[in-house]
Structure 1
């Protein structure tokens, strides 16, 4: 065992010696006995996986869920590890488990899709804030302080700060600080509804060319009926014809336009 690994084991008591178990598992064929040996190894290294999961506990995810993700990474590391390559299992397992935890945050917890570059900016801003907070106490660092410390532009810092809120979304029913006359406002109050007039716009545009082809009297009658809201009797009186004649002209004109619109659509 190298001096580096020995020094690491002194700092952490959750680094067991499972070299013999790994060699035994490597010599076994696939089957129940090999699975049991690997399970023993996983159980022995679970405390280390829990410690690695604890590093991510302040990022908006429950610690128990993080431990489960770390355990999955540990299982993958045990399955992939080759004891005959001369690398200590800890050196192989730590990046595997950490990578599994980072993928969990990257793929599962973002409520809003954020580009990879912005995610990286978020991490740099978070680390810079933590380091400055440890250095200067509880005083919150300014955007300029973070930019100088992390060697970033202020725009990049602001982008990273905005990305910190993308793990969770605000409910449409959440109360906002602004109050209106009727009480507290919510984000849902600012959302628009479906405009039923949009269907009318589509219909009007569809029939316009066909309306232009109608005789002048039929166009005038339809305009008076559907745009001015006049009754058939009022139209008949205005034009000096019978109400029955007006009704017949309206029905014939509408039927003609309907046929032409259906024909054009086909």
Structure 2
């Protein structure tokens, strides 16, 4: 039978001591020139060798670091495999997800026990996936949502999938509450909070847009605040306040703000001085402003 070292060709050197570090323990580890060229099948076999030696090497030594780092590099294919499951989770760079998944791989290496008689890949993938899911749960919500509601969203997703398969339709809030053993109010709160998981871009093409290159974005078809509405609201609030003024005060307001007459013109019309008109306008405006503030 061809040995693992021979199967990988030039990728592996012969089993030997690490440069500058003689010793029986290190001499039993193959020297791998390029971990990227190790085939997945060979990586599985080599991982067993490195994991076995890792358990007897002294932590912090050069030999220990070589074994641990090589294990990480050889098993990055597991991280990429797991990360591919999350490639449609928009907003996050694939490299970021791989880095997070690598943390899970490292945890798996540090906690793996050969005595369990479990394949390392089988043991490591849940750690990798769990770390990636934690990353999404903690960092990718579009708005701040309490941790309990983030976790409830996951439970709701699983419950909805299971009940939909059993009922052949989407489950109701009552059915979800019964399935999870939670109050309906909490289910509703969780469903509402789930809307904060992701936010769409205003540059996303609108379904209402025209087909072709002239398709409009969501920003083009979304409504916006109408500045005229504020004017309508202000006039609606102002109307009863104007009714409280006497005839001369209302006439002054009409001439100054309706007809846009100057204070001198208003004074000539009423037979009073411009200074008197100015004082009257100041008092009227102050009275109206106070009334508007109370109404607000």
TM-score (norm 2): 0.50
Map 1:44-123 to 2 at 5 A: 44-57=74-87, 59-60=89-90, 65-78=96-109, 80-81=110-111, 90=120, 93-111=124-142, 115-116=149-150, 117-123=152-158
Maintained 8 Å contact 1:173/1:187: yes
Residues 74 and 151 of structure 1, relative CA distance in 2, 3 Å threshold: same
Distance 2:70 2:103 in 1: 15
1:85 CA displacement: 9.5
Match of 2:27 in 1: none
TM-score (norm 1): 0.54
Match of 2:223 in 1: 191
Residues 123 and 168 of structure 1, relative CA distance in 2, 3 Å threshold: farther
1:128-156 CA distance string (max 9 Å, x none): 77xx5xxxxxxxx6326xx79x9579x97
1:39 CA displacement: 0.7
Match of 2:65 in 1: 35
1:91-115 CA distance string (max 9 Å, x none): 7644432221111222333435563
Maintained 8 Å contact 1:171/1:187: yes
Residues 38 and 63 of structure 1, relative CA distance in 2, 3 Å threshold: same
Maintained 8 Å contact 2:205/2:217: yes
Q: How big is the alpha-carbon RMSD for the aligned residues of Structure 1 and Structure 2?
A: 5.3
Which runs of no fewer than 5 residues in structure 2 stay unpaired? 1-39, 290-296
Maintained 8 Å contact 2:160/2:170: no
Which runs of no fewer than 5 residues in structure 1 stay unpaired? 1-11, 133-140, 262-266
Distance 1:40 1:237 in 2: 97
